[in-house]
Structure 1
Amino acid sequence: MTYSALLRTAAFTASAGCALLTACATRPATSAAPAAAAPALNQFATDSALRRIATLQDERRTAALLPYLDRPEARYRQAAAEALASVQNKAATPRLLLLLQEDQDPRVRQLAAYALGQSADSMAETGLYQHLPRETDAATRHYALEALGRCTSRAGLVSLTKLPAALATDTATLSGQAWGLYRAGLRGLTSEAAVARLVQLLAKGNTTGTRLAAASALARTRGLNLAPYTAALTTAAQTDAHYAVRSAAASALSKAATNPTVPATLAGLARRDPDYRVRLSALRSMTAPMYAPVKEAAWAALTDANAQVALTAAEFFLAHATNEPGAVLLEKAQALPQWRVRATLLAAALHQGGPNKAAIRRAVEERYAASANVYEKGYLLKALGEDPAAFDFVRQAAFAPGRPLVVGTYGVEALVAQRRHPDFPAVRRPDFALALRQAVLSTDVAQTGLAAEAIRDPKLDLRRLLPNPDFLVAARDKLTLPRDLEAWQSLQQTIDFLRGVPPTPVPVASAATHPIPWDVVMALPANPQAVVHTSQGDVVLRLLVNEAPGSVASFVQLTEKGFYNGKNFHRVVPNFVAQGGCPRGDGWGSSDYNLRSEFADLHYGEGAVGLASAGKDTESCQWFITHAPTPHLDGRYTIFAQVVQGMDVVSRLEIGDRIDKVEILK
């Protein structure tokens, strides 16, 4: 069973079940070798109505989708309900509520509940609560409770926290309650009773999905004081059978930091847990007040066998080191073999400062000059962002003729970081403003977008130095949409800020500019695969053509053109994602078209492959692979594939690793 299926054991869908089936061929009567069976066709190849529903979803045509909810064939009602989860039009709420209450097919009711949650319509709250005690299907109760978490009010949270007595022991209902409280927590809705209930759901006797939801809710809900629940969190972090639950519980322990036992617990997890993601979460949970008791564990983690753990340890020292001589950090950094870990610890050395700060700065600048790796150069500039005295060096690197795009992007980020530094000299503020103006006018979309973002930051007080937005307007008008949408959006927000007017709506491309290429979709089998050949090894993906036809077709078309060959993984966030596919190599690149979001009933478990975006319906060519469950992305970013082989490779991917080639296996 895939982990995404494990997340929702109570909501095992028909599509997930199909993935477990294998094709069988009748044994031939002769001794001749059997002919290879033709691969099964995907659902769109043989059903024009499903193609029509998907097209209406892509075109965001709610009124045309609603009649499909009345079709006698359950598959069309299911498809239409799921389509409305992507459209997210609250005008569909009354019809979806009626479907939830009256449809005879449990899967239709599940998808109706899912769509109601996706719309986040508070008008659905009462109908969901009223339906819950009457629902006979366990999986549908799960869906209804999770949907409630997405749309419940603060008053309604009381009912979500306390289940009807008749459902208090139902496994699917408990799982739905846990995920509902998780979704509510992401929206900032919680209470002491909700926290206490989540701690109960974290207990060993509950299903893995329930425990994961509870631990994730405790970890991600803001503003909680979990010190009273330290014992339960410690037990889960140390003993739970599943790494993802241990990892989330370790993260939640950061909210119990006032308990004197927590530092030792985190240090032990960082040293000894067998899964790198738990060790990493323990390091992230370490705070500045606990620096002394956890420091030795963090030192040891700098040489962890997993590079992501080592990087997280370096980030700990950058964020929390206290009275640590910069020279000591420099010495340790120079001995590290991994460039990103080394550069981050060099940043920590500069951050600590002291009498050796000038020598540390020179060491970073020398490494920059000697490195042939553009990403290492970028990270070294990022390190110099900790030292305003390196302003001229960074500015020269950021705008050097013929500079690599990646270096220019990191350079502007470093200049902004220097300006935010409390020691940035007031006399250099006009120079900083001129550097931002230069970045805006550079025609480099990354430098333009980053500079515009800094100009509208009220903390940097740049309105006085750059009051006239004309140069921003000139830069905006040179951009090409939708390719340069992110830079356009940043510039327009800053123009509106300087003019003191309301924000301009983002110009999202319509479906008519890039319709789903049905000829490409219909040529694909039901379960096509792609192999991503990387410098770390191969990763095999199963493309989810039935769930995300437009996104899969775009990926296939770009792959067959060789678009991804030679690209890099430009973003790797430990225990989160490895992201690639950017034509620039810095995350600011795009294709010449946008896609519409396809939010099927899928979940971000380990190895889910999603499309990056700058907001709903702005997906393009960049994609990412999750290291572990990341359920806060569910229903917000299109999932179009799942890793079926090579997660060990994914865990080793680093910024700058190469995508040698992508192949489609049909």
Structure 2
Amino acid sequence: CFCRSLVCSLLFACTPPELSEKNAAAGINLDLQNPLVRKLYDFRDERKVDSLLNYLDDADPTLRYLAALSFASIPDSGAISQVAGLLGDEVEDVRIAAAFALGQIGKAACEKPLIDAFMADDPMSEHQRFNAIVLEAVGKCGSLASLRNIATVTTYKPADTLLLEGQCRAVYRYGLRDSILPVATQLMISYVANERIPVPARLMAAHYLARSKNVRPDSAQAKEIAAGFVRARNSPEVRMALATALGKSQTEPAFAMLSKVIASEQDWRVKCNIINALSIFEYDTVRALVTPFITHKNQHISLAAAEFFIRNGQVKDGDYYWRITRDHPDMPMATQIALFRASNKLLSVRNQPESKFYVIDRIKALYQQAGNPYDRAACLNALAEFGWNYRWIHDKGYTDPHPAVKTAATEALKSIAELSNFYSIFGENARTVRRDLYYYFREAIAGGDVGMIVASSEGLQAEALNYKSYRDTARIGILKESLAKLKLPRDVEAYMALDKTLAFFEERPAPLKPVIPNNHPIDWEEMKKFSARSTVTIATGKGPIVLELYPLWAPGSVANLLRLANSGFFNGKNFHRVVSNHVIQGGCPRGDGYGALDYSIRTEIGLVWLDGAGYLGMAS
């Protein structure tokens, strides 16, 4: 799939959430033509903390609002006390900005002022929005005692939409910090099972159950989650998360629900999550449930089913997976490669040599046939499941014309170097293979390709191979020469990876991230060309994608996007990474995610929650 072009237009779109008439009534006016407003955005962009602090007590609520909100993007713990002072501001939107920023700073010192600011005495429900922000902020920084208090509130009613969502966001944020209490988990389970709870709150409760590492629902809880799945018939996003949550419960009710709905579920996103959720259950039963979806017409479902067997396949079926491709020669290339990979991983040269080498030959043939570089990259990863393919991976991958394939080849070699059973696989030849991989990694680093440098740098740190024994002044000098040739900020990822490897060889502490001087200021002249409601259209081979812009939250990113689009930078760029139900990435000048320009942009965080489908961000 290719991004053909980006076209800027002046179509009207919705304004960002949270920018309502209430802001204007409070005297908050985020007018991008106002020099003072621009100055505050510039201070944030330049990370001028002292300058922002000076505006926290400004008479103009707009400037107080912007100054406070800036610390959501600059999590400076030195600003906590002054930002906390705005929790009592006369303008609620300023209070909200301060609470949100304290949550983003996320230090324990933020907890008490946030709790003190919560407006429990709100009989007319006038401050629910503020209280909801406070609850989530506490979830980002608070103690287990506060989690218990939040999870045992009994006064919130189904009509209290904002408070319920804030409560669920708080518990969810605790979960992401691995702060778990049974009472909080049970509350989230009761919410997902209750149709009267607003969908936004149920969605956050479902994500808590899905994403909190230490939450493992028992049999009774799995029944409640299953009931919530059924009751979320009009909310596929909730079902997606609940399917994942059921996949964390190795209980009969969880399996009963997943095995029942895998065939009937109509939303491909949910079906993919159901397939993945079945990994925890007994293989022989699950195999029969998942296999039919390998030939599904939806490529996401087909690939999810094939990749299931890469992760969960068993040796006894090693000769089975590749045979599915023989019976269905028209299935998508990505699915075929995944099935061959599963077989290559599990087939034994000793016990099934004919099938093993047939599979390897087929993967090599697919590589030669593939016109798509991402299919070739997938073939190299499939070949790496049998470490003895390392020379072929090097010879073909390192000479491929596409950067994504070169990077994949190096990553494949790194995965071989990191094998825990490296010496048992290669036996008496292990020393030779170890040496070959070392020279392949060094070749990649000396070549200057940034994607290859990242993977090779990590490969040189493979614990079992002890490449420190290879170190000498000349060899370390080669790495230092390559490091000196990298340009910042363009090559920052490669620089950090290689610098870390040098520290590894020299037995010194891991280096800090290099300080990038401020560069590429917000282009206000570019912003003048467009209104606050301008949109951008991405023209793709599958149809147009229309983007709403958020210039009031992220003027630097918006200006950068517009400038690049108007220059034709995005024309012909690939969507180089697609992970179902997670992310689509594109716009990389190399096509592998390691490409960059000779400048950087800063993180810009506003009062908008990126918890739905279709949000676009730019790497900072």
TM over 0.5, shorter chain? yes
CA contact (8 A) 1:185 1:221 kept: yes
CA contact (8 A) 1:351 1:386 kept: yes
1:71 to 1:526, Cα distance in 2 relative to 1, 3 A? same
Q: Indicate the residue corresponding to 1:205 in structure 2.
A: 196
2:416 paired with 1:404: no
Code of the aligned partner of 1:183: R
Q: Indicate the residue corresponding to 1:603 in structure 2.
A: 609
User: What CA distance in whole angstroms lies between the structure 2 residues aligned with 1:308 and 1:197?
Assistant: 33
Structure 1, 556-565 or 422-431: larger mean CA deviation: 422-431
2:551 paired with 1:541: no
Q: Indicate the residue corresponding to 1:8 in structure 2.
A: none
What is the number of equivalent residue pairs in this alignment?
Answer: 576
User: What CA distance in whole angstroms lies between the structure 2 residues aligned with 1:456 and 1:391?
Assistant: 18
- For residue 121 of structure 1, the aligned residue among 100, 104, 107 is 107
Same amino acid, percent of matched pairs? 28
Q: Indicate the residue corresponding to 1:224 in structure 2.
A: 215
Q: Indicate the residue corresponding to 1:437 in structure 2.
A: 442
Q: Where does structure 1 lack aligned partners over 5 or more consecutive residues?
A: 1-10, 19-41, 614-618, 620-666
Q: Secondary structure at the match of 2:248?
A: helix
CA contact (8 A) 2:243 2:258 kept: yes
CA contact (8 A) 2:175 2:211 kept: yes
2:60 paired with 1:61: no
User: What CA distance in whole angstroms lies between the structure 2 residues aligned with 1:463 and 1:384?
Assistant: 28
2:381 paired with 1:386: no
Q: 1:429 offset after TM fit, Å?
A: 1.6
Q: 1:507 offset after TM fit, Å?
A: 1.9
CA contact (8 A) 1:53 1:65 kept: yes
2:398 paired with 1:417: no
Q: Indicate the residue corresponding to 1:503 in structure 2.
A: 510
Code of the aligned partner of 2:283: Y
Q: Secondary structure at the match of 1:564?
A: coil
CA contact (8 A) 2:43 2:51 kept: yes
CA contact (8 A) 2:334 2:378 kept: yes
Q: Secondary structure at the match of 2:282?
A: helix
User: What CA distance in whole angstroms lies between the structure 2 residues aligned with 1:527 and 1:333?
Assistant: 49
Q: 1:324 offset after TM fit, Å?
A: 4.2
User: What CA distance in whole angstroms lies between the structure 1 residues aligned with 2:467 and 2:20?
Assistant: 53
Structure 1, 269-278 or 569-578: larger mean CA deviation: 269-278
Q: Indicate the residue corresponding to 1:567 in structure 2.
A: 573
1:596-636 deviation per Cα after TM superposition (whole angstroms, max 9, x unaligned): 110111121334433353xxxxx1xxxxxxxxxxxxxxxxx
Structure 1, 522-531 or 582-591: larger mean CA deviation: 522-531
Q: 1:232 offset after TM fit, Å?
A: 1.2
Q: 1:397 offset after TM fit, Å?
A: 1.1
Q: Indicate the residue corresponding to 1:487 in structure 2.
A: 494
1:93-117 deviation per Cα after TM superposition (whole angstroms, max 9, x unaligned): 11222211x2122222111110000
User: What CA distance in whole angstroms lies between the structure 2 residues aligned with 1:306 and 1:464?
Assistant: 50
Code of the aligned partner of 1:515: P
1:73-104 deviation per Cα after TM superposition (whole angstroms, max 9, x unaligned): 3332222221121111112211222211x212
User: What CA distance in whole angstroms lies between the structure 2 residues aligned with 1:291 and 1:466?
Assistant: 46
CA contact (8 A) 2:418 2:462 kept: no
User: What CA distance in whole angstroms lies between the structure 2 residues aligned with 1:304 and 1:330?
Assistant: 17
Code of the aligned partner of 1:244: E
Code of the aligned partner of 1:107: D
Q: CA RMSD in A?
A: 2.1
Q: 1:459 offset after TM fit, Å?
A: 4.5
- For residue 469 of structure 1, the aligned residue among 476, 482, 500 is 476
User: What CA distance in whole angstroms lies between the structure 1 residues aligned with 2:598 and 2:580?
Assistant: 30
Q: Indicate the residue corresponding to 1:358 in structure 2.
A: 357
User: What CA distance in whole angstroms lies between the structure 2 residues aligned with 1:311 and 1:556?
Assistant: 35
Q: Indicate the residue corresponding to 2:6 in structure 1.
A: none
- For residue 189 of structure 1, the aligned residue among 156, 159, 179 is 179
Q: 1:293 offset after TM fit, Å?
A: 1.7
- For residue 85 of structure 2, the aligned residue among 80, 98, 101 is 98
Q: 1:212 offset after TM fit, Å?
A: 0.8
2:288 paired with 1:296: yes
Q: Indicate the residue corresponding to 2:272 in structure 1.
A: 280
CA contact (8 A) 1:263 1:293 kept: no
Q: Where does structure 2 lack aligned partners over 5 or more consecutive residues?
A: 1-15, 24-28
Q: 1:191 offset after TM fit, Å?
A: 1.5
User: What CA distance in whole angstroms lies between the structure 2 residues aligned with 1:395 and 1:466?
Assistant: 23
- For residue 342 of structure 1, the aligned residue among 336, 348, 356 is 336
Q: Indicate the residue corresponding to 1:327 in structure 2.
A: 319
Q: Indicate the residue corresponding to 2:11 in structure 1.
A: none
Q: Secondary structure at the match of 1:424?
A: helix
User: What CA distance in whole angstroms lies between the structure 1 residues aligned with 2:464 and 2:144?
Assistant: 33
CA contact (8 A) 1:12 1:139 kept: no
CA contact (8 A) 1:280 1:309 kept: yes
Q: Indicate the residue corresponding to 1:172 in structure 2.
A: 162
Code of the aligned partner of 2:105: S
1:244 to 1:466, Cα distance in 2 relative to 1, 3 A? farther
CA contact (8 A) 1:114 1:143 kept: yes
Q: Indicate the residue corresponding to 2:38 in structure 1.
A: 51
- For residue 317 of structure 1, the aligned residue among 309, 313, 322 is 309
Correspondence list, 1:16-165, <5 A: 43-100=30-87, 102-134=88-120, 136=122, 137-163=127-153
Code of the aligned partner of 1:265: M
Q: 1:199 offset after TM fit, Å?
A: 1.2
User: What CA distance in whole angstroms lies between the structure 1 residues aligned with 2:371 and 2:22?
Assistant: 49
CA contact (8 A) 1:142 1:172 kept: yes
Correspondence list, 1:615-634, <5 A: 619=620
1:268 to 1:97, Cα distance in 2 relative to 1, 3 A? same
Code of the aligned partner of 1:181: V
Q: Secondary structure at the match of 2:295?
A: coil
CA contact (8 A) 1:270 1:301 kept: no
Q: 1:44 offset after TM fit, Å?
A: 4.2
Q: Secondary structure at the match of 1:541?
A: strand
Code of the aligned partner of 1:359: Y
Code of the aligned partner of 2:272: L
Q: Indicate the residue corresponding to 1:633 in structure 2.
A: none
1:127-146 deviation per Cα after TM superposition (whole angstroms, max 9, x unaligned): 21222244640011100000
Q: 1:166 offset after TM fit, Å?
A: 4.9
Structure 1, 363-372 or 487-496: larger mean CA deviation: 363-372
Code of the aligned partner of 2:196: G
Q: Indicate the residue corresponding to 2:370 in structure 1.
A: 371
Task: Name the structure, 1 or 2, with higher relative contact order (CA <8 Å, separation 6+).
Answer: 2
CA contact (8 A) 2:557 2:618 kept: no
Q: 1:54 offset after TM fit, Å?
A: 0.3
User: What CA distance in whole angstroms lies between the structure 1 residues aligned with 2:418 and 2:347?
Assistant: 16
Q: Secondary structure at the match of 1:503?
A: coil
1:462 to 1:17, Cα distance in 2 relative to 1, 3 A? farther
Q: Secondary structure at the match of 2:59?
A: coil
User: What CA distance in whole angstroms lies between the structure 2 residues aligned with 1:45 and 1:156?
Assistant: 39
Code of the aligned partner of 2:253: T
Q: 1:310 offset after TM fit, Å?
A: 1.4
Structure 1, 515-524 or 281-290: larger mean CA deviation: 281-290
User: What CA distance in whole angstroms lies between the structure 1 residues aligned with 2:229 and 2:390?
Assistant: 44
Q: 1:377 offset after TM fit, Å?
A: 0.9
User: What CA distance in whole angstroms lies between the structure 2 residues aligned with 1:333 and 1:279?
Assistant: 22
Correspondence list, 1:439-458, <5 A: 439-458=444-463
Q: 1:572 offset after TM fit, Å?
A: 0.4
1:199-234 deviation per Cα after TM superposition (whole angstroms, max 9, x unaligned): 122222211111111110111111222124101111
- For residue 227 of structure 2, the aligned residue among 220, 228, 235 is 235
CA contact (8 A) 2:490 2:599 kept: yes
User: What CA distance in whole angstroms lies between the structure 2 residues aligned with 1:129 and 1:460?
Assistant: 52
Q: Indicate the residue corresponding to 2:7 in structure 1.
A: none
User: What CA distance in whole angstroms lies between the structure 1 residues aligned with 2:121 and 2:490?
Assistant: 47
Q: 1:304 offset after TM fit, Å?
A: 2.4
Q: 1:193 offset after TM fit, Å?
A: 1.7
User: What CA distance in whole angstroms lies between the structure 1 residues aligned with 2:256 and 2:388?
Assistant: 38
User: What CA distance in whole angstroms lies between the structure 2 residues aligned with 1:206 and 1:608?
Assistant: 25
